[in-house]
Amino acid sequence: MAVTSGPAASGPAASGPAAPAVEAVALRKDFGSIHAVDGIDMALPPGRIYGLLGPNGSGKTTLIRLLVGLASATSGKARVLGVDMPSRPNLARIGYMTQADGIYPELSVWENLSFFAALYGQTDRAVLLRSLELVELDGRLGTPAQNLSGGMRRRLSMACALAHHPAVIFLDEPTVGVDPALRVQFWNHFHRLAADGGTLLVSSHVMDEADRCDELLFIRDGHVLAQGAPAELRKRAGTDNLETAFLQFAGETAAVPETTSAEATR
Q: What is the pLDDT of residues 52-97, one digit of tens each?
A: 998 888 999 999 999 999 999 999 999 999 999 999 999 999 999 9
pLDDT score for 16: 64
Distance from the first to the final alpha carbon of the chain: 22
User: Beta strand pairing status for 49-53 and 199-203?
Assistant: parallel
What pLDDT is attached to residue 252?
66
More confident residue, 173 or 66: 66
pTM (2 d.p.)? 0.85
Exposure of 82 by Cβ count < 10 A (0-12 exposed, 13-18 middle, 19+ buried)? exposed
Task: Write down the pLDDT at residue 90.
Answer: 94
Count the helices and strands in the chain (H runs, E runs).
8, 10
* Predicted confidence band of residue 258 (pLDDT cuts 50, 70, 90): very low
- Give the pLDDT confidence score for residue 15 in this predicted structure: 54
In whole angstroms, what is the distance from residue 216 CA to residue 218 CA? 6
The better pLDDT of the pair 181, 261 is held by 181
Distance CA 123, CA 125 (A): 6
